[in-house]
Amino acid sequence: MSEASRPQLVSSGQTLAQKLLARASGKPRVEPGEIILVQVDLAMAHDSSGPRRWKPHLDSLGATLWDPSRVVIVSDHYVPAVDGESAAILKLTRDFAKDHRVEHFFDMEGICHAILPQKGLLRPGIFVAGGDSHTPHAGAFGCYAAGFGATDMLGIVVTGQTWTIVPETIRVEMTGSLGSTVSAKDVMLVLCRELGMDNAFKAIEYGGPGVESMPMDERMVLSNMAAELGGEVGLIAADKVTLSHIRAHGGCATEADLAWKPDPDAAYERIISINLSDLEPQIALPHSPANSFPINHALGSPIHQAYIGACVGAKLQDLHMAAQILKGQRIAKDVRLLVAPASSQVTADAAADGTLSTLLAAGATLLPSGCGACAGMGAGLLAAGEVCISTTNRNFKGRMGHAEAFVYLASPYTVAASALTGCVSDPRKFFSELAVAQ
Amino acid sequence: MTETAGTGRAFVFGDDIDTDLLAPGHLMKLSAEDLAQHCLEAIAPDFAKSVQPGDFVVAGKNFGLGSSREQAAISLRLLGVGAVIAPSFARIFYRNALNLGLPALFCEEAYRIAEGDQLMVDPVLGKITNKTRGETLSCKPIPDHLMAMVRAGGLIAHLKSRRGT
């Protein structure tokens, strides 16, 4: 990993963030530090942050949605209902979507960040405002996608507008290619350690041949965890891979959308270079994603639960990674392996291609699609003293249940390998054994 | 000092106070009032019981990182916290705090404040007087028009009061 700071000369080049914000604000060009009013193309919220928080205020202000066709509501936090409170929240959300004629309402189909690309709702260039901190996920499609709290989102769904401060951009340049049991998740755990989590009011821009070599499911990990870096957005310029993903999911994208890319002479706050070929599996120890180390640091630490879930860590590709390690194996006695696919479509696809039966044969328990234990709300919470290794993106104290529980973050390869042994394990060992056996 | 100045004790915390510490996810179904009683309990079990209206939360860098959940800021406000003072804030928390009527003050020298210090804080002047230590620190001022919204109790209360509803 190396760092180079470019001289901050007067430059005519623009970062991707500048270009996207110029479009959203209707200006020819914007500069870092400028406070701008932006037009929102797509507003997304879920059952926890959306209708339940908006409804009383909309009613008392006598306001309504500015454009129901640009509002997406996803029930993913309290699904499926497990008690009276969660049932009431989900009913309120359904009734709201119906009353306000929100056609893009997805009830128990999966996690909001997985739903947006799956339904073909993203297109390079657009401004996406989401009532969830992992909204930067959509930046993998060249969208300016940022997270907001419920009050900001209320203003957005009523007016279609919000304000932001044009951010400086940190460019992460990736070369090389990932090893056989190393993933984008490992890249992000390195970046959390190297860049820290205190990059508020900044944009993260990923690029280079290392990024171009990744499929969309992996690029989404980079964009998603820009949130852990503290970034407003995690942007990746669209390429042919992006366009074909959008088209394959019924979305609209043309060759002209490839113009949404940074200029070669753009001015960055700094540029970080990372060679993916050198990367080892990583693990974040409790209680921060930035508390990360190469896997050797924690080998052999006992675990009670292995969790494959969340927007960042339970896409089809993540399930494939786990299945590569688990194929023909059986998880350790006294360990529970929980799998909560990011969407019901992922479950269906994994069933169709045999991945699901591989996971179940290894002893996995299949959970509903939703934010689940990652948000501390669904099935799979931890008791005091328990240790979980998880494909999720946060391991703050108390996040997955008890404040005295411990969560390690790692890739699906590492989580699966650890489920087999009952302790933190290096997935490279299992992969080579598989190769020898074949 | 302007009319927005307030006096209270400092409750001091470290870097990276996250939203799961401020509003634990597994308790998010509780009412806002009940959830507030669990604010920061994982690291300071007596905080909710001992903080008094007007007291201040003083912390290290990147306060409020994590989730977009507004309950993190709402809990502090419901407990009567007069302001959060820190060298840096997570972006969504910062926007939420002002929108919900909780002043969030950028102060590079927040580390000079110790637990229990008596502070007088003026967000409009950007001035923090530490009466216990006899020193004055500066923070980034919050403009008067923004403080009008904060004082009203946040954006929605401000809109309602302006509409006379």
Is the model's pLDDT at A433 over the cut of 90? no
In a domain? residue B90: yes
* Distance separating alpha carbons of residues B102 and B73, to the nearest angstrom: 7
HSE value, Cβ hemisphere, 13 Å, CA-based, for A389: 31
Residues of chain A found within 8 Å of residue B94, distances taken between Cβ atoms? 200
Q: Taking Cα atoms as reference points, which of A333, A338, A328 lies closest to residue A362? A: A328
Tokens of B47: 């905080």
In a domain? residue B1: no
Tell how far CA A402 is from the center of its chain. Answer: 24
Looking up tokens 């009319």, which residue turns up? B3
Is the model's pLDDT at A10 over the cut of 70? no
pLDDT in tens, A32-62: 999 999 999 999 999 999 999 999 999 888 8
Q: Are A340 and A368 in contact (CB under 8 A)?
A: yes
**Which residue on chain A is closest to B45 by alpha carbon?**
A403
Q: Taking Cα atoms as reference points, which of A398, A230, A288, A284 lies closest to residue B20? A: A398
Question: What is the percent of chain A with per-residue pLDDT over 90, rounded to a whole number?
Answer: 93
Mean pLDDT estimate for chain A: 95
What would be the CATH architecture of the domain defined by A283-437?
2-Layer Sandwich (3.30)
Tokens of B164: 């006379």
pLDDT band at A1 (very low <50, low <70, confident <90, very high): low
Phi, psi of B6 (to 5 degrees): -140, 160
Sheet holding A305-308, edge to edge: A292-294, A282-284, A406-409, A387-390, A305-308, A336-339, A364-366
Residues of chain B found within 8 Å of residue A310, distances taken between Cβ atoms? none
B31: domain range? Answer: 6-163
What is the rounded average pLDDT of the residues A362-386? Answer: 95
What is the rounded average pLDDT of the residues A290-303? Answer: 98
Distance from CA of A401 to the nearest CA of B (A): 6
Phi, psi of A155 (to 5 degrees): -60, -40
Radius of gyration of chain A (CA): 21
Please give the pLDDT value at position A7.
46
Is the model's pLDDT at A291 over the cut of 50? yes
Cβ–Cβ gap B70/A151 under 8 Å: yes
Q: Are A391 and A403 in contact (CB under 8 A)?
A: no
Please give the pLDDT value at position B145.
85
Q: Which residues of A touch B (CB under 8 A)?
A: 48-49, 53, 57, 60-61, 78, 83, 85-86, 89, 131-133, 147-152, 154-155, 197-198, 200-201, 230, 232, 288, 375-377, 381, 394, 396-399, 401, 403
Please give the pLDDT value at position A378.
86
What domain count does chain B have?
1
Distance from CA of B132 to the nearest CA of A (A): 30
Q: Is the backbone of residue A165 left (phi > 0), alpha (psi -120 to 50) or beta?
A: beta
B127 CB contacts (<8 Å, ≥6 apart)?
A: B1, B121, B136, B137, B138, B139
Report the top-level CATH class of A1-279: alpha beta
Cβ–Cβ gap A396/B26 under 8 Å: no
Cβ–Cβ gap B62/A232 under 8 Å: no
List the single residue in A78, A86, A131 with the smallest CB-CB distance to B68.
A131
Three-state DSSP at A159 gives helix
pLDDT in tens, A136-171: 999 999 999 999 999 999 999 999 999 999 999 999
Residues of chain B found within 8 Å of residue A399, distances taken between Cβ atoms? 20, 25
What is the rounded average pLDDT of the residues A272-293? Answer: 98
* Distance separating alpha carbons of residues A409 and A401, to the nearest angstrom: 15
Residues of chain B found within 8 Å of residue A49, distances taken between Cβ atoms? 68-70
Looking up tokens 């959509």, which residue turns up? A138
Domain boundaries, chain A: 1-279, 283-437
What is the rounded average pLDDT of the residues A113-133? Answer: 98
Tokens of B61: 């860098």
Q: Are A102 and A13 in contact (CB under 8 A)?
A: no
- A49 CB neighbour count, 10 Å cutoff: 27
Using the Cα atoms of residue A32, residue A34, residue A40 and residue A43 in order, give the sign of their dihedral: positive
Whether B55 has its CB under 8 Å from any CB of chain A: the answer is no
Cβ–Cβ gap B29/A85 under 8 Å: yes
In a domain? residue B13: yes
pLDDT in tens, A211-224: 999 999 999 999 99
Please give the pLDDT value at position A431.
77
Is the model's pLDDT at A103 over the cut of 60? yes
Whether B154 has its CB under 8 Å from any CB of chain A: the answer is yes
Q: How far apart are the first and last CA of chain B?
A: 32
Is the model's pLDDT at A338 over the cut of 80? yes
Largest CA distance in chain B: 45
**Which residue on chain B is closest to A54 by alpha carbon?**
B156
Cβ–Cβ gap A152/B95 under 8 Å: yes
Name the H helices within A196-290: 209-212, 216-224, 240-248
Distance from CA of B145 to the nearest CA of A (A): 16
Peptide bond connecting A287 to the previous residue in cis, omega within 30 degrees of 0: yes
Q: Are A319 and A307 in contact (CB under 8 A)?
A: no
**Which residue on chain B is closest to A403 by alpha carbon?**
B42
Q: Are B14 and B44 in contact (CB under 8 A)?
A: no
A interface test, pick of B16, B28, B65 with most A CB neighbours within 10 Å: B65
Please give the pLDDT value at position A438.
44
Tokens of B142: 């919050």
In a domain? residue B94: yes
Please give the pLDDT value at position B161.
83
Model ipTM value: 0.93
**Mean pLDDT, chain B cut into blocks of 10 residues (165 residues total):** 84 97 92 96 97 98 97 97 97 97 97 98 96 97 90 89 69
Is the model's pLDDT at A100 over the cut of 70? yes
Whether B70 has its CB under 8 Å from any CB of chain A: the answer is yes
pLDDT in tens, B13-41: 999 999 999 999 989 989 999 999 999 99
CA of A197: how far to CAs of A190, A200, A287, in Å? 12, 8, 13
**Which residue on chain B is closest to A89 by alpha carbon?**
B29
Q: Taking Cα atoms as reference points, which of A340, A306, A345 lies closest to residue A325? A: A306
Q: Are A386 and A305 in contact (CB under 8 A)?
A: yes
A384 CB contacts (<8 Å, ≥6 apart)?
A: A402, A403, A404, A405
Cβ–Cβ gap A399/B25 under 8 Å: yes
Distance from CA of B17 to the nearest CA of A (A): 9
Q: Do domains A1-279 and A283-437 have the same CATH topology?
A: yes
pLDDT in tens, A228-271: 999 999 999 999 999 999 999 999 999 999 999 999 999 999 99
List the single residue in A149, A376, A396 with the smallest CB-CB distance to B92.
A149
Domain at B96, CATH number: 3.20.19.10
* Distance separating alpha carbons of residues A164 and A294, to the nearest angstrom: 37
